[in-house]
Amino acid sequence: MSIATVNPATGETLKTYQAMGEEEIERRLQLAEATFRTYRTTSFAERARLLERAADLLDGDRDELALTMTTEMGKPVTQARAEAAKCARAMRWYAEHAEELLADEEPAAADVKDSGGSRALVRYRPLGPVLAVMPWNFPLWQVVRFAAPALMAGNVGLLKHASNVPGTALYLEDLFHRAGFTEGCFQTLLIGSGAVDDILRDDRVKAATLTGSEPAGRAVASTAGEMIKKTVLELGGSDPFVVMPSADVRRAAEVAVTARVQNNGQSCIAAKRFIVHRDVYDAFTERFVAGMRALKMGDPTQEDTEVGPLASERGRADLEELVDDARRSGAEVLCGGERPAWPGWYYPPTVLAGVTREMRVHREETFGPVATLYRAADLDEAVLIANDSPFGLSSNVWTRDEAEVDRFVRDLEAGGVYVNGMTASHPAFPFGGIKRSGYGRELSGHGIREFCNITTVWHGA
């Protein structure tokens, strides 16, 4: 099979790549296993030196790399540059903090004595080659937030990236190699999704992490479960954005626009369901719709473009089906809702009101710049609507009432609650969800320990 870069702004195929065959895959698996035997013994200082070098190189490549990402998957180039900068910062954060996060832990002396021992400790040791199955929407960040902690922990990485971002995938392998990491520390596998199962079944691969769709997550989790291998899954999201009467409604509406259309609306942690208390519903809706309508959609390589094309023709068709189903079932389209008569896979910022539980858009993830509005009578109904979703990735709450904050933090079914701001990932904070949004955590100390052998070391008296 061939893997291609197709410009979503024009639909033009720019470059094709031949998928790796069985012999090349085998060579790379052998290399990963052999490299791990020695890389696992390197010091934190050496790993940090290499990762900081990779961050420096990434900073230098930022403009060119941003254009590659934009050309491959359509995000506005200004956002692509910001993504590259964020990745460099995350690399430096892990280079600085990994040794502390993975330091030996000593149980309480009384507990050691009670166990009959003279001393004990808990040590974090690397597992081995980890397979990362990554998506196209943040083609650099999704990989780096796996690779930086995995490499600092002493693991080696095998990347199966989305097939529509091969240029970014190959860049990542080259970046780590140029930084001085041994060739087998991080390898890109140019393969189709059909090859993932056999690789995951290989005994040399010790664990896997996947960010992507529910079907992909089920497939990887099923195989990993059969092989008894550790997995971390970050799947879909339909995050609620709740606005209560005490909120700064003007600011909430302004942030809501960014929260919905970041990355052309193609983000698992983008706010998608806007649940507004009836007392401020009209004021919020007026500002939010005006903000969505005012966004500039166009060529993603232009500096002033705010919304570019969706990454694929299929993705746009899926989004249109959700909007059309809602419209047929009685939803009101407050703005957008019709594709422009341009080349490429564009879809306008769209707001739907009057959404009901029977509509597909209520249950399914809208992976594009489509927002749904809900009117809530009170806090209890707001929580009920927010939790009425198969997903539980993150959430956004706008209120100045601390008692309300406590209720939302207690009752919202999500991996994160962001108060008076939009959800964003940061290397210092754990990231992940519950329900059909997946399991496990990325980033922070929780993320770096996911792919470690947590080892008890005990000494007798």
Choice among 72, 173, 234, 404 that is catalytic: 234
Helices (H) and strands (E) in the chain, counts: 15, 19
* Residues with Cβ within 8 Å of residue 400, at least 6 apart in sequence: 246, 247, 248, 420
Using an 8 Å Cβ cutoff, are 461 and 117 in contact? Answer: yes
Q: Which residues pair with 77 in a beta bridge?
A: none
SS3 content of the chain, % helix, strand, coil (to 5): 45, 20, 35
Q: Give 187-205 as a DSSP string.
A: EE----GGGHHHHHHSTT-
E strand or H helix that includes residue 291: helix 281-294
Which residues 6+ apart lie within 8 Å of 376 measured at CB? 242, 275, 276, 277, 278, 382, 385
Find, among 64, 74, 93, 62, the residue nearest to 7 by Cα. 74
CA distances from 387 to 71, 240, 352 (A): 37, 8, 19
Closest CA to 365 of 256, 205, 234, 455: 234
The tokens describing 249, both together, are 């409604």
Instruction: Compute the Cα dihedral for 157, 163, 168, 170 and give only its sign.
Output: positive
Q: Provide the H-helix boundaries in 74-139.
A: 77-101, 109-114
Alpha-carbon distances, residue 140 vs 65, 187, 275, 424 (angstroms): 9, 14, 32, 16
How far is Cα 108 from Cα 114, in angstroms, rounded to an integer?
10
Question: Is 268 one of the annotated active-site residues of the chain?
Answer: yes
Q: Which is the catalytic residue, given 87, 268, 335, 452?
A: 268
Q: For this structure, is 321 an active site residue?
A: no
By three-state DSSP, how is residue 65 classified? helix
Which helix (H) or strand (E) segment holds residue 283: the answer is: helix 281-294
Q: Which amino acid is at 300?
A: P
* Non-local CB neighbours of 23 within 8 Å, separated by 6+ positions: none
Active site residues: 234, 268
